[in-house]
């Protein structure tokens, strides 16, 4: 299960000449800063398993509640980016960022690999499709080597809000309407859950990514700057 009822999910690439600096910044400054914000409980960064997954990186922040993502503490950090943050994020590519409510989270714990499915929902079907998708999440977590399955709904307005950190960036794309995260012990274990979701009729136009965990950070104190 996820740590809380809110998440911030970020998909991004990075300019090749900034790759080494991205790793240094993300581990030694950015993720400690974010996880130090009140209500942020855990941060995880993933890298694409293969060339079919785009963009290359996926970062997940787990929050006590969705309201943490729209709260003043987080907004203060977004409006006071460090010089290093400004430099590195200027090299981001194809970024999609979702501030989202967790609708379903099941499973015994984090897995070493992760599938992300970004999608829209059919306009017809309403509550029936919503129930079917929730039921499917509960079925998926029973499959072999699956350690977690989670469904989240983005708040598009909150996700698109521009701040001092993002106001000049041209790499930012639209957030997904909904997304599913599937955690597993091995890459091949992701195949069946992805197949079931694609064939379910509950999701439209899925963008599928397969990632391996690179780095995780639990709650930590942080002094900005």
Fold designation for 6-218: Alpha-Beta Plaits (3.30.70)
Q: Which DSSP symbol is given to 60? A: E
Evaluate whether 93 touches 74 at the Cβ level (below 8 Å).
no
Tell me the pLDDT tens digit for each residue of 128-182: 778 999 999 999 999 999 999 999 999 999 999 999 999 999 999 999 999 999 9
pLDDT at 225 over 60: no
Burial 156-178, CB ≥16 within 10 A → b, else e: eeebeeeeebbeeeebbeebbbb
The per-residue pLDDT of the chain, averaged, comes to 94
Helices (H), the chain: 19-25, 31-35, 66-69, 72-78, 83-89, 126-140, 156-160, 191-198
What are the domain boundaries of the chain? 6-218
Tell me the pLDDT tens digit for each residue of 83-109: 999 999 999 999 999 999 999 999 999
Tell me the pLDDT tens digit for each residue of 18-41: 999 999 999 999 999 999 999 999
Nearest alpha-carbon partner for 4 in 44, 42, 32, 30 = 42
């Amino acid at each position: 299960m996820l740590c809380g009822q809110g998440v911030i999910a970020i998909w991004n690439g990075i300019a090749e000449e900034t790759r080494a600096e991205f790793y240094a910044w993300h581990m030694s400054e950015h993720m400690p800063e974010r996880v130090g914000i009140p209500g942020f409980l855990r941060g995880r960064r993933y890298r694409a398993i293969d060339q079919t997954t785009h963009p290359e990186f996926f970062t997940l922040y787990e929050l006590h509640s969705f309201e943490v993502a729209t709260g003043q503490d987080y907004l203060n950090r977004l409006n006071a980016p460090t010089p290093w943050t400004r430099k590195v994020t200027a090299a981001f590519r194809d970024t999609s960022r979702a501030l989202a409510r967790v609708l379903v989270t099941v499973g015994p714990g984090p897995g070493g690999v992760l599938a992300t499915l970004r999608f829209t929902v059919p306009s017809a079907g309403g509550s029936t499709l919503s129930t079917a998708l929730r039921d499917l999440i509960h079925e998926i977590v029973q499959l072999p080597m699956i350690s977690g399955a989670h469904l989240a709904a983005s708040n598009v307005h909150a996700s698109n809000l521009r701040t001092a950190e993002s106001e000049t960036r041209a790499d930012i794309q639209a957030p997904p309407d909904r997304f599913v995260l599937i955690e597993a012990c091995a890459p091949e274990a992701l195949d069946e859950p992805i197949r079931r979701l694609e064939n379910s009729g509950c999701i439209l136009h899925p963008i599928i990514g397969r990632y391996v965990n690179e780095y995780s950070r639990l709650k930590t104190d942080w002094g900005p700057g």
